[in-house]
Copies of this chain bind each other. A is one copy, B any other.
Amino acid sequence: MEHAPKAIDVTNDVEMRTFNFFTMGIDGHPLGLHLDMAIPTILNNADEEQQKDWLPKAANREFIATYAQTEMGHGTNLKKLETTATYDPKTQEFVLNSPTITSTKWWPGNLGKSSNYAVVMAQLYTQGKCHGAHPFFVQLRDLNTHKPLKGITVGDIGPKFGMNTVDNGFLQFDHVRTPRRSMFMKHAKVLPDGRYVPPVHDKLNYSAMVFIRAAIVSGMAYHLLVTSTIAVRYSAIRRQGEITPGAGEVKVLDYQTQQHRIFPQLARGLAFRLSGQYIMKLYTQTMDDIRNGDISAVPDLHALSCGLKAVTTHHAALGLEQCRMACGGHGYSQASGFPLHYSVAVGACTYEGENMVMLLQTARHLMKIAKAIRAGQSPKSNKIVDYLFHKGPPKCLIDQAYDTNYRNVLESFEHLARRQTLEVYDKLVQLQQQGRNYEQAWNDCAVELCKATRAHVRTFLARTFVEEIDKISDLSIKSVLQDLLQLYLYYEVTECATGLLEDGFMTGQQHKYAKKKIYEALEKIRPNAVSIVDSFDFQDRELHSVLGRRDGNVYENLLKWAQSSPLNKTDVLPFHHKYLGKMMEEARQRSKI
């Protein structure tokens, strides 16, 4: 931290993040939540006076704060958080309490050891009534001794799959008093006498979530592009088997199976990146709209962001593992970087909203749209969902001559999303007519509802990819990216082929055509693959990978990396003669007798 000002402009958020990233790696650091969650909460939820007090101190790092929401017993379902903040008008304080073991705050990053403050989400009670979860800014540890304050139990939750440089923590309150003004009061308020003043509207909570999930989409793009880079580079070094007799062993990247493993991850990485950028722009625009009193776009955008988060994190996790396995045994070594990237990236499948819950969240929104469609309503000229209202072609046209904008492929994705959405809506209605209550009917349809969301998200990702590539003016760059686009689109067609085939929309011949286009795209990408990943310009210290080194000197550095392992400090481990050596020696003595 103290070296940062020498290297960068520390007031520039992007530069600061990049500096942190390069110096502290990808698995987290003690100020991560302070920068990513606590400060934004102060900005979004503290009133002017609170901001004036807290923000400069936070920016100067006079304290380290984190964001404590998730509890041991409840993560995604905020309504059921058990931590309470009960207002006592006599002392004008809130009393924070953890009434059960399951109410223990659990998982917040940097909570265990680093932070001395936290944004704490707790059920607000005042004048005998609960008003739901609200954020409070609470001191946890003494500023000088760093010891937990009276009534506070705090610690680390122990080792995890990854991100072990982050002290995810637990936190319990035993009737801890905190001033009235520690409640964040930009939106809701509690007056000194205990009266509760509700927020004007709660749509702003949505937008914060959209921001986080848009950031996750871009994060998944990053992980996929990094791991594709490693896999492509290593596959251009590794040789195995002959294709042309006598010509020597070929680079494994020449194998169709290897291309078919790696290149779709590259294409998906690009698709996620473009959609991540797009949705971040949409977020900024929607925030402007909200300030101008127009909140109409928020529900569609919020719903999309849930589904996008679930789909991109899931596909990134699968894709990272494909890249790892494409590197054979060496991919299993930490020298490859894959174990690090996977264990960090895969966390996103369960944090910030568990994926299955996310898919169903989007589906709730899709069912509202289906209801409007069945009621004969017109679309609201919203680009994200309007296609659901339109009628597409009755038959798939993917093998027909198409314009460069792949309308025929996009229409196929739209067809599937529309059909799946309406079919499951009709089923929901039917089950309720048969006597199931709404939630029961919902549960009976849950797997099919998730499929509707996935089809909707696929449509969005594909449309965005097509539109963004279309905007590129440099024709040589465009041509290379169009190969990746071709791969992406037809790969997605085969991924959802069952849905396209089962109602007779697509024919078997058309599915064959899609596969042919995939194999064709793989061949086109092959000669450019190394240049494509080199163009991302990742630094070696970002990749954390001997296999993915830019200079290609894999094998000698694999040996060097191994030799520097702590186990190799001595030829013979210091405790060898105490255990294994002794066991063998005694056995030899016995056999001599």
With A146-B581, A338-B161, A447-B257 known as contacts, the answer to whether A332 contacts B355 (CB < 8 A) is: no
Stretch at the interface among A17-25, A84-92, A370-378, A563-571: A563-571
Contacts of A356 in B (CB 8 A): 255, 257-258, 261
Contacts of A62 in B (CB 8 A): 584, 587-588, 591
A567 touches B156 (CB 8 A): yes
Task: Please name the residue on chain B nearest to A573 by beta carbon.
Answer: B113
With A254-B443, A332-B160, A502-B501 known as contacts, the answer to whether A559 contacts B170 (CB < 8 A) is: yes
Contacts of A511 in B (CB 8 A): 498, 502
User: Which range contains the number of A residues in contact with the other chain?
Assistant: 35 or more
For chain A, residues 57 to 114, give those with C-beta under 8 angstroms from any C-beta of chain B: 57, 60-64, 70, 72-77, 80, 101-102, 104, 106-107, 112-114
Q: What are the 5 closest A-B residue pairs judged by CB atoms, nearest first? A: A502-B508, A158-B565, A161-B339, A156-B567, A501-B501
B498 touches A562 (CB 8 A): no
For chain A, residues 496 to 543, give those with C-beta under 8 angstroms from any C-beta of chain B: 497-498, 501-504, 508, 511-512, 515, 519
For chain A, residues 225 to 274, give those with C-beta under 8 angstroms from any C-beta of chain B: 239-245, 249, 254-258, 260-261
Tell me, yes or no, whether A468 is within 8 Å of chain B by CB.
no
With A155-B565, A260-B447 known as contacts, the answer to whether A146 contacts B577 (CB < 8 A) is: yes
B332 touches A562 (CB 8 A): no
Contacts of A584 in B (CB 8 A): 61-64, 116, 143
Tell me, yes or no, whether A43 is within 8 Å of chain B by CB.
no
Residues of A bordering B, CB below 8 Å: 1-2, 30, 56-57, 60-64, 70, 72-77, 80, 101-102, 104, 106-107, 112-114, 116, 143-148, 154-162, 167, 170, 239-245, 249, 254-258, 260-261, 317-318, 321, 325, 328-329, 331-335, 338-339, 342-343, 346-347, 349-351, 354-356, 360, 437, 439-440, 443-448, 450, 494, 497-498, 501-504, 508, 511-512, 515, 519, 555-556, 558-559, 561-565, 567-568, 571-573, 576-577, 580-581, 583-585, 587-588, 590-591
Task: Please name the residue on chain B nearest to A558 by beta carbon.
Answer: B72
Residue from A114, A333, A561 whose CB has the most chain B CB atoms within 10 Å: A333
Task: Please name the residue on chain B nearest to A495 by beta carbon.
Answer: B498
Contacts of A437 in B (CB 8 A): 244-245
A102-B555, A143-B588, A156-B568 known, 14 other contacts, Cβ within 8 Å: A57-B591, A62-B587, A63-B584, A73-B555, A76-B328, A145-B572, A156-B562, A158-B565, A161-B339, A167-B567, A254-B443, A256-B445, A497-B501, A502-B512
Contacts of A572 in B (CB 8 A): 113, 145-147
Task: Please name the residue on chain B nearest to A156 by beta carbon.
Answer: B567
Contacts of A239 in B (CB 8 A): 73
Report the bound CA distance from A113 to B567 in whole Å. 8
Q: Which of B70, B156, B446 sits near A257, CB closer than 8 Å?
A: B446
A504 touches B498 (CB 8 A): no
B502 touches A155 (CB 8 A): no
A334 touches B113 (CB 8 A): no
